[in-house]
């Protein structure tokens, strides 16, 4: 496995291949990320993992400075999974000057849910992902793939739209969420949880599953019943000591409130102590 830190070295390393597959990450890799690598490997002829903690997608009060940076351990894990190239640029390499040009996704998909509670988040994500696509995929001669986890459901939806609207010749692949034995969605931020919080953390996914069941049971009267069901789910989690941002049922295609007959996804974000967790289930 090759570890490269510059765009020039990356492009040189990829010259021998036709069909790169990119797995963008911010490092501190867990089984969920490794599963993305496993999904990526059969797709092309070279698998590239990027590791870059992207300042642009963090608000000033968020955990950019404390986000765990574990490059050596990450590389060991990636090598064991058969990843071919790791692109781990410095901030100076990715943003040699302040990034004035940005990719701004439309508010109807980017200012709701995560984007409502993390203003500017999806502009930061789209900007770095577009740049990573340029670095890793733009010179390919054959098919190009990029692999994202479904745990960040809205993120993969926004990126799909970006790829579609910019007519990028990239196949976006979504991989189902990996979960711990108790059902907690794997996330680098789970590492912030105390022992007691870790035991409690599964309650977010349980609350979402319960809300999903209630929504399916409401079936025809869904739009009438949904506000009440969502409010109840929110209160139940708050009563356990969480600070929920949202627990909601949306239609899968654009994450707008659903109409009868829409394919549905239930999504949530909530803070447990200092740790903000997100999760979702298609129902």
Stretch that binds ligand PAF, among 18-26, 63-71, 210-218, 275-283 (CB under 6 A): 18-26
Q: Hey, what are 47's tokens?
A: 């698998």
Q: Which of 133, 242 has the CB closer to ligand PAF?
A: 133
Phi, psi of 21 (to 5 degrees): -120, 130
Residues involved in catalysis: 33
Would you list the DSSP string of 189-229? GGGG--HHHHHHTTHHHHHHHHHHHHHHHHGGGHHHHHHHH
Is residue 78 at the binding interface for ligand PAF, with CB under 6 A as the rule?
no
Size of the site for ligand PAF (CB under 6 A): 10
Q: Starting at the edge strand that comes first in sequence, how are the strands of the sheet with 243-251 ordered?
A: 243-251, 264-272, 275-282
Q: Which of 152, 279 has the CB closer to ligand PAF?
A: 152
Is residue 112 at the binding interface for ligand PAF, with CB under 6 A as the rule?
no
Q: Which of 125, 163 has the CB closer to ligand PAF?
A: 125
Q: Which of 155, 174 has the CB closer to ligand PAF?
A: 155
Q: Measured between alpha carbons, how far is 41 from 30 in angstroms, rounded to an integer?
A: 17
Stretch that binds ligand PAF, among 123-131, 171-179, 190-198, 262-270 (CB under 6 A): 123-131
Helices 153-165, 121-137: crossing angle, 10 deg rounding: 60
149: closest CA among 1, 278, 272, 258? 278
Least distance between ligand PAF and beta carbon 116 (Å) = 17
Q: Hey, what are 261's tokens?
A: 């007959």
Site string for ligand PAF, 124-163 (x = CB under 6 A): -x--xx----------------------x--x--------
Is residue 21 at the binding interface for ligand PAF, with CB under 6 A as the rule?
no
Least distance between ligand PAF and beta carbon 217 (Å) = 33
R_g of the chain, CA atoms, integer Å: 19
Binding to ligand PAF, residues 22-61 (CB under 6 A): 24-26, 54, 57
Q: Which of 172, 249 has the CB closer to ligand PAF?
A: 172
Stretch that binds ligand PAF, among 19-27, 73-81, 100-108, 234-242 (CB under 6 A): 19-27
DSSP 244: E
Least distance between ligand PAF and beta carbon 229 (Å) = 29
Least distance between ligand PAF and beta carbon 172 (Å) = 11
Q: Measured between alpha carbons, how far apart are the two ends of the chain, in Å?
A: 39
Query: Using an 8 Å Cβ cutoff, are 85 and 45 in contact?
Result: no
Is residue 74 at the binding interface for ligand PAF, with CB under 6 A as the rule?
no
Q: Measured between alpha carbons, how far is 96 from 104 in angstroms, rounded to an integer?
A: 20
Burial of 278 (0-12, 13-18, 19+ CB in 10 A): buried
Let me know how long the chain is. Answer: 283
Which residues in this chain contact ligand PAF in the complex, by CB under 6 A? Answer: 24-26, 54, 57, 125, 128-129, 152, 155
């Amino acid at each position: 496995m090759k570890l490269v830190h510059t765009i020039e070295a990356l492009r040189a390393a990829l010259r021998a291949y036709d069909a790169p597959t990119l797995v963008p990450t911010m490092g501190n890799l867990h089984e969920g990320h490794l599963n993305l690598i496993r999904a990526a490997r059969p797709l092309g002829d070279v698998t590239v993992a990027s590791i870059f903690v992207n300042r642009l997608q963090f608000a000033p009060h968020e955990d950019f400075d404390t986000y765990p940076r574990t490059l050596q351990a990450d590389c060991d894990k990636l090598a064991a999974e058969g990843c071919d190239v790791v692109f781990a640029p410095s901030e100076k390499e990715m943003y040699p000057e302040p990034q004035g040009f940005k990719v701004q996704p439309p508010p109807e998909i980017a200012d709701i849910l995560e984007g409502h509670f993390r203003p500017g988040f999806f502009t930061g994500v789209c900007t770095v992902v577009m740049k990573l696509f340029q670095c890793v995929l733009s010179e390919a001669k054959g098919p190009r793939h990029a692999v994202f986890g479904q745990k960040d459901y809205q993120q993969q939806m926004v990126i799909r739209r970006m790829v579609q609207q910019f007519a990028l010749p990239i196949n976006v692949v979504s991989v189902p969420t990996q979960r711990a034995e108790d059902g907690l969605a794997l996330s680098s931020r789970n590492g912030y949880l105390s022992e007691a919080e870790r035991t409690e953390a599964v309650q977010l996914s349980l609350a979402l599953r319960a809300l999903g069941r209630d929504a399916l049971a409401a079936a025809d009267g869904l739009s009438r019943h949904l506000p009440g069901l969502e409010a109840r789910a929110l209160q139940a989690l708050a009563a356990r000591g969480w600070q929920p941002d949202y627990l909601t049922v949306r239609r899968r295609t654009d994450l707008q409130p659903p109409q009868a007959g829409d394919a549905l996804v239930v999504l949530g974000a909530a803070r447990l102590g200092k740790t903000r967790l997100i999760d979702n289930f298609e129902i």
